Structure 1
């Protein structure tokens, strides 16, 4: 009964949080999409030498995978999970300070740039085969990662705005409940990112190995 009550309270908290911050979700999502577009456009700014160098590295990776490359799945999981935790920890810390507010938005923009550049390069260089490779190597985990990071960011921005309004302007209101909700949402997103890291560490390479033989002629 206690577990069920906790889950119901958690669901209600998330629903209330989403309802209260619709405008922030729209703003942060648009900023992320702008980053994706910017990253994709950056591919066109690469010099011929840079594109050739990246193509060589990508070709070497395809050869290693096609040759039966093995990785330490446990280590891969740890590295992925560690990277995700560092990302949301940064967002959480930035949310605790007023000066961190623009830095949260910069992180969201940069995440969009990274994804846009990666997918844009693969499609630009490899056409439909690049789209296929991006679909199996980039898309699955990011279906969890992107929403989780955006929710963390909205929560951080909302908490930072709350501090500005209620602690520095009006100087009233308790910080305990907003802080606990903010931290709880971050921890919940950390659990979701744990799932993304499990996928990256234990399953992603299998999909990449499955699709690599279809990329004949690219390496």
Structure 2
């Protein structure tokens, strides 16, 4: 592990442009999500807000069994998403799909926060802070790092296949790639617990305070 860390750090420095690109892409997705909120008409916003209020009511009535199910669903979602990024990383044609997935991830976050603030003002900002921010402080960096790793590995495969002068130990790189994805997935499992048992608990108190 101690030997592997310097290698990871050197890879990050060598491919810093990819990490910056992924970060900017995600921010663009967030901005685009906020723009979509402003482009919605009044009826669309009211309809969506109606379903959102129903969701808040369901969250406040959630019991232990329901939360256990939410944790499982959240973990399964992260497992599927990370598996997709992993598989796209080992297929050269998956590079554009990786960028689209991360852009959409930013769009969803931007739309969620933007809609809450647009409809509820400071209350929406408060709800976003307690229900979206805690787990996403973990989730977003993990997904950005995973997407960058997938792009880097895909580029490495492309160089190996199409540039004959490049000879890199692909098997060794694949083992390290797999190990890093495994570590990132373990972190996401922790974020699922944060989302359900911490964020939802805060959301319950805030919603009851707002609608009391």
TM-score exceeds 0.5: yes
Deviation at 1:10, TM superposition (A): 4.3
In structure 1, what is the equivalent of residue 46 of structure 2? 52
In structure 2, what is the equivalent of residue 126 of structure 1? 120
Provide the rounded CA distance (Å) in 2 between the counterparts of 1:85 and 1:77.
12
Q: Deviations over 1:64-106 (max 9, x none)?
A: 445x443522211110011111111111111111110000000
* Bigger mean CA deviation after superposition, 168-177 or 188-197: 168-177
After TM superposition, the score normalised by the length of structure 1 is 0.89
CA contact (8 A) 1:96 1:159 kept: yes
SS of the residue corresponding to residue 72 of structure 1 reads helix
In structure 2, what is the equivalent of residue 33 of structure 1? 27
CA contact (8 A) 1:76 1:200 kept: no
* Corresponding residue pairs, total: 210
Question: Given the superposition, is the C-alpha separation of residues 58 and 173 from structure 1 closer, same or farther in structure 2, using an over 3 Å criterion?
Answer: closer
CA RMSD of aligned residues (A): 1.7
Runs of 4+ in 1 over 4 A off after TM superposition: none
Provide the rounded CA distance (Å) in 2 between the counterparts of 1:92 and 1:100.
10
The answer to whether the aligner puts 1:165 opposite 2:133 as a matched pair is no
Deviation at 1:55, TM superposition (A): 1.4
In structure 1, what is the equivalent of residue 174 of structure 2? 179
List alignment gaps of at least 5 residues for structure 2: none
Question: Given the superposition, is the C-alpha separation of residues 201 and 130 from structure 1 closer, same or farther in structure 2, using an over 3 Å criterion?
Answer: same
Provide the rounded CA distance (Å) in 2 between the counterparts of 1:120 and 1:187.
32
